[in-house]
A and B are shown apart, each in its own frame.
Chain A
Amino acid sequence: MEKLLHSVYLDEEKCLGCTTCLRSCPTGAIRVRGGKAIINESKCIDCGECIRICPHHAKLAKTDLLSKKENYKYKVALVAPAIIGQFKPKYSITEILSAVKALGFDEVVEVAYGAEVVGQALKYEYHAKRYPKPLISSACPAVVKLIQVRFPELTDNICRLKSPMAMTARLVRKRLREEGDFKNDEIGVFFITPCAAKATMVNNPATTEYDKYDLIDGAIAIKDIYSDLSSHIGNCPIQEGIHNTTPESCSWALSGGESEYLKNKNVLHVDGIQNVINVLEEIECGKLDTIEFFEGLACIGGCVGGCLTVENNYVAKMYIQDRAKKMKQTSIVHMSDEYVKSIYNSGMMHIKERILPRSPVPLDQDINKAIAKMKQIEILEDKLPGLDCGSCGAPGCRALAEDIVAGKAKEIDCVFVLKDRVRDLSVLTNELLQVEHPTEKPLNKKD
């Protein structure tokens, strides 16, 4: 079986086992055992909901330290478009990118550049025959994993163009290779990430999206460099020409940004993992058969709502829209159709392998045994109170019933069942106390 790696992990010292995260998990991947949360890796999709909701900040995302770049001769930062929403519009995009460079990078490239290439190529990919409709965006890795885990029948609908991040890495490495100053392995490419799911994509070597020419060497969280960036902005040398993207490509950080590239199609864009689930359910049962393209982003507002960002997502959206408006008035960089087409036709934009389902494990491989277990689960579920309180360490009564049948929990993990047992026991204790034992002297008769 493939090894699944994740970025979301638990700080055991901070976790109080409070069960707050249990029900926030869209795939039911969390249990509390021994007073600590445990994440089931085969179900986790790295959406970051638990990171956001944990009141004790015990859920974290594994990302890289800025210092990791020192292992490379030539250091490149790939900046997610979400970053431009983190700072007030009085700073120009050039100033923000220059501040990233001042952290010690030799070169800063906007992922919005790759986004423009992918966005423009969408109109070609849309017509590829291999997709059932609707075509589903592959931009959000958490949504792609959600589909693999919860909507396995829709995996063939997922667009197989690489993400803007991977595309940008590819184009940068290609240019540097052609310039010939550095060997491929002397170049360190780092993604400045707004979310945990992208960090997983970067750090998960099992991902088939990459080969060594679009390799990304690390993911650095926006929030980890935010304070350094804030002190550099406006106080560091400005590098002209560092910013060369379109207003549309910067809007990929917002829900609906990608859909703008397929304006003349019936597109539906949805943000927030629960909303995405609801709409995917409708797509799955054939209800939304007029939709031609579906863009689902796990975080509210899109990537600006990523769990590794700092600014409130609505404020960040306003900042990005403000800058996009200004860009429209000043510099518009158009990418020629021929350029995009040449990249598209070269094959380097495509993920080569099919995106496969990661279907939930059935109750049993043998259908008769699975049916027997299902019946047991239903009997147990009827016995449980149906409050979904989470005190047992499972997200709900049904989940506890399933865990019990799987041998991973006990009935008395439920505090209500436990209380009933204690009551039964105390009734029995009382009854036994009343019984006179043959060798016992009667209690109330003295002398």
Chain B
Amino acid sequence: MSYELIFDVKRGDFETAGEASRKIKHTLQQLGISNKIIRKVSIAGYEGEMNLAIHSSGGKIILEVGEKELILTIEDVGPGIQDLNLAMTEGWSTAGDEVRQMGFGAGMGLPNMKNNADDFEITSKIGEGTKIVMKFLV
């Protein structure tokens, strides 16, 4: 049996940012997932949520819970990423000053997601959007 949770995240919506990750955490606790995995999913989910709010024109976070693995998908409509290798480099960011002043845009988002997930896949099309699929083994 599998279970799915979907959240919509709007661009620039910092007021409610973090809500999806909080809900994901609470749900995983109720499903009996171990604390270690919850922490990883929380961090990756939060980074994804922030990326949607900062860089995209809006997108979705989808959590699928199965018996053996959790799949966290972050999908957006947006500018897409020019150079994926560069984007995966720690400290590299295209975030503007305003966002940096809020404490975001340190260039750790994607690397952080990759480090926390057991499997990480990113695809991006310029002018269309970006899709990240992360897997966590239960």
| A positions within 8 Å CB-CB of B | 152-153, 281-282, 284-287, 357, 359-360, 362-365, 367-368, 370-372, 374-375
Contacts and interface: CB of A to CB of B under 8 A. Distances in A.
21 contacts: A153-B35, A282-B18, A284-B25, A285-B21, A285-B42, A285-B43, A286-B43, A286-B46, A286-B47, A287-B46, A359-B29, A360-B30, A364-B32, A365-B32, A367-B33, A367-B67, A368-B67, A370-B31, A372-B1, A374-B3, A374-B31
A359 B25 CA distance: 12
Contacts of A375: 3
B38 A153 contact: yes
Nearest to B32: A362
Contacts of A287: 18, 46, 103
B22 interface: yes
Interface of B: 1-3, 18, 21-22, 25, 27, 29-33, 35-36, 38-39, 42-43, 45-47, 65, 67, 103, 112, 138
A388 B112 CA distance: 37
A415 to B, nearest CB: 26
Nearest to B3: A371
Contacts of A153: 35-36, 38-39, 42
B35 A363 contact: no
B50 to A, nearest CB: 8
Contacts of B67: 367-368
A371 B33 CA distance: 11
Contacts of B33: 367
Contact of B31 (A281, A286, A367): A367
Nearest to A284: B42
B32 A363 contact: yes
B101 to A, nearest CB: 14
B42 to A, nearest CB: 5
Contact of B1 (A152, A281, A368): A368
A155 B126 CA distance: 43
B2 A371 contact: yes
A285 B18 contact: yes
Nearest to A285: B46
A362 B31 contact: yes
A371 B22 contact: no
Contact of B22 (A281, A360, A362, A365): A281
Contacts of A365: 32
Nearest to B24: A285
Contacts of A152: 35
A282 B102 CA distance: 14
Contacts of B29: 359-360, 362
Contacts of B22: 281
Given A367-B32, A370-B30, A370-B32, 18 more contacts: A152-B35, A153-B36, A153-B39, A281-B22, A284-B25, A286-B42, A286-B43, A359-B29, A360-B29, A362-B31, A367-B31, A367-B138, A368-B1, A370-B31, A371-B1, A371-B2, A371-B31, A374-B31
**Which 5 A-B pairs rank lowest in CB-CB distance, beginning with the nearest?**
A362-B32, A285-B46, A153-B39, A371-B3, A286-B43
A286 B32 contact: no
Contacts of B39: 153, 284
Given A371-B1, A372-B1, A374-B3, A285 B31 contact: no
A372 to B, nearest CB: 6
B35 A281 contact: no
A371 B38 CA distance: 16
A362 B46 contact: no
Contacts of A371: 1-3, 31, 65
Contacts of A374: 3, 27, 30-31
Contacts of B112: 286
B58 to A, nearest CB: 21
Contact of A359 (B18, B21, B35, B47): B35
A372 B65 CA distance: 12
Nearest to A373: B30
Contacts of B3: 371, 374-375
A152 B42 CA distance: 13
Contacts of B27: 374
B87 to A, nearest CB: 19
B32 A285 contact: no
A287 B21 CA distance: 12
A284 B42 CA distance: 8
